[in-house]
């Protein structure tokens, strides 16, 4: 009798993206959006932190900061944590200007 090869497939099938799981689809959409928006050149959160003051100052001076610093804008679009930092800094700066 010939020796059978071991079956390396799992006992249970992997969950399909079409399984109806809203959480899985939402995670899939977010990952797909991030991949779609990934650029050849990106900056890290540390680099963002080093440059955010300049970006905010340009914005407050009425300059098109997104056009002048496109990698900062891209990072803001992709990174929720850094976007929160930017929003907080803008609120602080706008509040101090109003005084």
Q: What residue ranges do the domains of the chain occupy?
A: 41-98
Count of alpha carbons within 13 angstroms of residue 60, beta-carbon side: 18
Residue 14 confidence (pLDDT)? 47
Residue 20 confidence (pLDDT)? 54
Statement: the pTM of the whole predicted model exceeds 0.75: no
Residue 28 confidence (pLDDT)? 86
89 burial class (0-12, 13-18, 19+ CB within 10 angstroms)? middle
Residue 42 confidence (pLDDT)? 81
Is residue 55 within 8 A of residue 62, CB to CB? The reply is no
Residue 36 confidence (pLDDT)? 74
The closest alpha carbon to 56, from 22, 83, 28, belongs to 83
Distance CA 40, CA 31 (A): 17
> Could you list the pLDDT tens digit for every one of the 99 residues in the chain?
555 544 444 444 444 445 556 678 888 888 887 777 666 678 999 999 999 999 999 999 999 999 999 999 999 998 999 999 999 999 999 888 877
Residue 37 confidence (pLDDT)? 66
């Amino acid at each position: 009798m010939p020796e059978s090869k071991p079956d390396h497939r799992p006992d249970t099938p992997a969950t399909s993206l079409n399984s109806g799981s809203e959480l899985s689809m939402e995670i899939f959409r977010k990952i797909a959006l991030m991949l779609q928006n990934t650029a050849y050149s990106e900056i890290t959160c540390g680099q963002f932190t080093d440059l955010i003051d300049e970006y905010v100052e340009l914005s407050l001076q009425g300059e098109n900061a997104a056009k002048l610093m496109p990698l900062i804008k891209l990072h803001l679009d992709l990174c929720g944590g850094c976007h929160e930092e930017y929003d907080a800094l803008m609120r602080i700066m706008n509040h101090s200007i109003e005084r």
